[in-house]
């Protein structure tokens, strides 16, 4: 190893211009590598925040009723089927809020109701998704308040937020 180090030092000291060019090239390569690593890391964080940061990580929904035949009826068969006429919702959700909020690792709880609608303006008709949240819970799951272009995140009970594209 001493012989290899001796040859390397001799080569570096033989031509100062070439040594300087080599050192600048290595420094520039390291700087580009650090810059690209930081850029990729920042981009990964941004993409993660945009995709995962705006949705809830856990969603509670009503359990599906599986079709089945009830036992116990001797002269007839009773079948339980999924009711397609009503929307799936948790009818009594209020008692669950303090339980969920008290669970370790939970940073926010926001009961929501979701639906679909059509909005009309003149002759134009567009399908929209409608999400209802409790007043004061607008930015609990996603930081919607920071993305508002005009107006305020403090909405009255009958207030509405419209997306930039729809507006």
Q: How confident is the model at residue 35 (pLDDT cuts 50, 70, 90)?
A: very high
Average pLDDT over residues 12-32: 91
Average pLDDT over residues 8-14: 84
pLDDT digits (tens, 9 = 90+) for 64-123: 666 666 676 677 776 767 666 556 667 778 888 888 888 888 888 888 888 888 988 889
Selected residue with higher pLDDT from 41 and 149:
41
Which DSSP string do the residues of 74-138 spell out, in sequence order?
SSS-EEE----SS----SS-TTHHHHHHTSTT------EEEEEEEEEETTEEEEEEEEEE-TT-T
Q: % helix / strand / coil in the chain, to the nearest 5?
A: 35, 15, 50
21 pLDDT above the threshold of 70 = yes
CA distance 61 to 89: 7
pLDDT digits (tens, 9 = 90+) for 42-74: 998 888 877 776 677 777 777 766 666 667 667
- Percentage, residues of the chain above pLDDT 90: 14
- Dihedral angle over CA of 21, 25, 28, 30, nearest 10: -140
Identify which of 126, 102, 106, 124 has the alpha carbon closest to the alpha carbon of residue 116. Answer: 126
CA distance 167 to 165: 6
């Amino acid at each position: 190893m001493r012989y290899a180090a001796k040859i390397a030092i001799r080569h570096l000291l033989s031509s100062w211009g070439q040594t300087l060019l080599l050192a600048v090239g290595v420094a520039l390569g390291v700087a580009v590598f650090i810059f690209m690593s930081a850029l990729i890391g920042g981009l990964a964080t941004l993409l993660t925040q945009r995709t995962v940061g705006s949705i809830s990580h856990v969603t509670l929904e009503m359990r599906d009723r599986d079709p089945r035949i009830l036992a116990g009826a001797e002269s007839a068969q009773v079948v339980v089927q999924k009711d397609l006429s009503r929307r799936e919702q948790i009818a009594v959700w209020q008692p669950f809020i303090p339980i969920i909020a008290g669970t370790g690792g939970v940073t926010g709880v926001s009961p929501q109701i979701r639906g679909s609608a059509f909005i009309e303006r003149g002759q134009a008709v567009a399908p929209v998704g409608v999400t209802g949240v409790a007043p004061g819970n607008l930015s609990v799951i996603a930081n919607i308040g920071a993305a508002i272009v005009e107006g305020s995140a403090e909405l009255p009970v009958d207030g509405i937020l419209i997306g930039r594209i729809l507006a």
